[in-house]
Structure 1
Amino acid sequence: MGSLFERGKVLFELKRYDLAASEFVSELGDGPSQPLVFAMLAATQVNLKRFADAEKSVRSAIALAPDFAYPHYVRSFILQHRRRWREAEDAVREAIRLEPQCDFFHQLAAIAASRNKTSEALSAVDHALQLNPLHNPSILLKGNLLARAGQLREAHALFQTAISNNPEDAAAQHALGSSHLQSGNASQALDLLREARRLDPVTANDSAAIALAYGYMIWPLRWLNVCTVRIWQWSHKQRWALFATSAAAFALVGREVGLSSGRKSDFVDYWVWFCIVAVSFFVFPIMLDRAANLLGTSLLRREFSIPWRWMILSPLLFFRSAWSYASILTGAILIGIEPTLGIIACQFGAAFPLLAASAKTGTGREMGLLCLPVLVLLMALGCYSAVLTNFQGSFIGVALLVVFFLITLFCDTIADRIVSWRFRRSSLYIDASR
């Protein structure tokens, strides 16, 4: 390998992929074929989104050197783009088997995270950090996984560590800025998000987050942001506690309020209004985010190079949110009038990780679809117990309701173990867990 290859490597590191590809092609034309050149050409073509050409190049590299790990690693990106998840996992596992490297484990973790396989992703990313504790992409990926699980404080610390390792890392600046935005610290979030955009104006230019942070710096949105509660940022256990407590409340008042019991009292009006206010309290942040984003975008219109004509139609964006909000309030009224529906809604919320795992793991060959029949069976039990609790003196319904919520307490763990079952049986998982 000569100067053309070395020049191609420099251009690849500078993200000048079109010029790098030309240098690698010239290198292949001037001398004997080298597997590394083919692999680097394939990696360049992946970044140029020329996946058919990348597939040919990586196959040539593997044919020349089947025991060379890097081509298998590059091939996993091609398969990942084509949503052939299992083959992508197999390709990167083969690379790890041949030569365990931090980048290879990170790619395995990224594939697992995109398929909602949290335990597998955390195991792989921990192994990557064992090989290189300063690997910022793995630190950021672990932070995102923890943030997704509701562990915002731990995620925040990891993002700060990534910036300490490399203050010029745009992804780390963006991740910490997003973490501050979720925590309600709009001022620091705005500075970090703008710094990320300065460092990488292409991939770290998150205008929506910048507009949202700027909108939340303005009173009264700043005060409202502190007062709102965003349950989607909670951990599963915290959300479960809310749903279990709410279901117990619905079960207690069901005999007084429920139409199925044939009773009506003055308490029903107060109860319905309570349900409307309670649901509004948890749904309000969605409307507040839309208002802050629209306000921030309006004030930063020139910074985002948005034409003034867009601002005339921008209030129309509220109609979709208002329609969703009205639909949710209608549901709040229904569950207030008929508490059995409220119990079922709480049960669905507690079992939601199973549905999320089914939706994010794709095709009919995937283990994730096993979460769907488990969810159906669990909801059948839940609906049956909800109906029974509405009958006076139904101890069986209450007992089944308790059993249902005891099961759903570990619903996220059940979903994660189902989707990661195949990985748990492999030797790679056993080795990474030691």
Structure 2
Amino acid sequence: MRRDLLAAGLAFAGGLVLLATGASVGWWWSDTPTWVLAGPLALVCAGVAVRRRAPLVALGLGLAGVAGDLWFGPTLGTILIFTDNLYSATLYGPRRLAQWMVWITCTLAVLIGSVTGVVLWDWRWVAVAGVQAGLVLTTPVFSAVILRQHRDQAQAERARAEQVARLAELDRRAAVNAERARMARELHDMIANHFSAIAIQSTAVLSRRDLDGEAVHKVLGSIRENSVQGLAEMRAMIELLRQEGGGEQSETTRRRLADSEDLVERARQSGVDACLRVSGEPAELPASVDLAGYRIVQEALTNVLKHGGRRAEVAIDYVADRVTVTVENPVANGRARLPGAGTGLIGMKERTALVGGLFEAGPFEGGWRVWAELPATAGALPGAEG
């Protein structure tokens, strides 16, 4: 508003200077004093003062001012400032008004040129008057239309950039959440198995007074082995997270479904009568499937320890392009030996879904069953076709 008022004041001062120097054309029927011509000049300058806040009012003031100026005798200052009224109404006014301004000013320029040629009976004046009317009427309107288009395009680009930034932020948050969920699954599956065994065995040593030295030594050896293996897996996980770019586990630290015998042996050392059956021809599995199968067996045996099971049967079947993992165990009567949060089943289900497999867990005749079917080939994994 302050800039517009300043511009209006400067325009009015400049117009007065032009009036004082005689920059006007007086009609033969009008002998108008110079101070009267300042009235139309003041109207068009008032339009400059409100051009941003009220562009339609500015156009109305400009039309009134230029109409009075043309009646008394056109003046250069008023005509020049009127071009700003046209420009402001087109730029800041409604979009439909800008479209109408183009057609109206072009039509007026043609009519002014034609009427001048007819009145003066000289068709050379058609071009002269038409060009002058075009400079006064169409030039500011077309300039405002072009600037308005650039401004609208810039706003559209800014909106598009903001939308892309929001989508990128959503993708980043989704990636962070997915990575956090993956780390939570890995940490849970690594720690739960070892610490469950440690907790159960240490509880047994503390609650039993009739254990001889050899039995205590055997249990403590198992506790030490579980703690060492848990620390080793934690160390491998930390080293993996410290690697630049993340990525899959290396061949030396990668857990495989073929290593399930180690899990079964560890369950035996923890007091579970566990057995492993493998059928079919073992195939080289994708790294993600290998790890998912291994963690499912690990978590299922951990649940056997937590809920007081004394026996577990692990079956791994390689059939064509898939591998199935089944862990069955009887349900112990009474209260579970260790409390559970229910995250183990969620983690197994998520792992299976991530590799495009099927997962079921629930009671069956004689106990509890965990069953998972995983793809054995890379082409069957989600997104492999892309």
TM (norm. structure 1) is 0.19
Q: Structure 1 or 2: larger helix share? A: 1
* Higher strand proportion: 2
The higher radius of gyration belongs to 2
TM-score (norm 2): 0.21
